[in-house]
């Protein structure tokens, strides 16, 4: 793992649209969440090759991926993805995902990424944002609640991590009235 400088008050977070060269950092940060069984339903790490099509599906002018940089290093990312692809009635709703490097958590990076995505959403044609969170992910639940998301649903015991069952919370926020 790369040695990534923690975001502190002395280190300003810069958010921008991701480019393909960011994919290795995005994958590395995502894979940090896999062994915790707290932030993703994947039980094995993803690969750069396996995430290429996912990256390419995110059109910057409609469903972007944003990265947060501190001192020129990617320390987190946030994506706005098509929610339930192929269902045109949901075309104004996006699913948000946000992951922050373990050395940079609890420093406001996730909050800045999500706020950036929320502010950009109306200009992207997005009216609603859905966040799907594993029920034991208290930190993310508290964060989205602070940012004005409301619990829209709960699916009990839909995940199985080697015999340990968990549920998923659905949080949502209307970004255009």
CATH of 13-131, one of 3.40.630.30, 3.30.70.1400, 3.40.50.300, 3.40.50.720: 3.40.630.30
- 97: Cα within 13 Å, side-chain hemisphere: 19
- Of the candidates 77, 63, 67, 69, the one whose C-alpha atom is nearest the C-alpha of residue 130 is 63
Report the chain (177 residues): mean pLDDT per 10 consecutive residues.
45 94 98 88 95 97 98 97 97 98 94 98 98 95 98 97 95 95
Output the pLDDT for position 38. 79
Query: How far, in Å, CA of 81 to CA of 79, rounded?
Result: 6
With beta carbons less than 8 A apart as the criterion, state whether 128 and 177 touch.
no
Output the pLDDT for position 36. 82
* Domain residue ranges in the chain: 13-131
This model's pTM is above 0.75:
yes
């Amino acid at each position: 793992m790369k040695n990534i400088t923690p975001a502190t008050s002395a280190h300003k977070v810069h958010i921008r649209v991701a480019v393909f060269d960011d994919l290795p950092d995005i994958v590395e940060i995502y894979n940090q969440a896999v062994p915790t069984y707290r932030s993703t339903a994947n039980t094995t790490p993803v690969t750069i090759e396996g995430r290429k099509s996912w990256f390419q599906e995110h059109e910057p002018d409609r469903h972007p991926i944003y990265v947060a940089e501190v001192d020129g290093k990617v320390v987190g990312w946030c994506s706005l993805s098509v929610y339930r692809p192929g269902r045109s009635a949901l075309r104004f709703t996006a699913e948000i995902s946000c992951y922050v490097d373990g050395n940079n958590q609890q420093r406001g990076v996730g909050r800045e990424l999500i706020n950036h995505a929320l502010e950009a959403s109306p200009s992207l044609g997005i009216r609603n944002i859905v966040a799907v969170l594993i029920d034991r992910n208290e930190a993310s639940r508290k964060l989205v609640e602070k940012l004005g998301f409301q619990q829209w649903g709960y699916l009990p015991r839909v995940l199985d991590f080697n015999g340990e069952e968990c549920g998923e919370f659905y949080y949502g926020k209307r970004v255009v009235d």
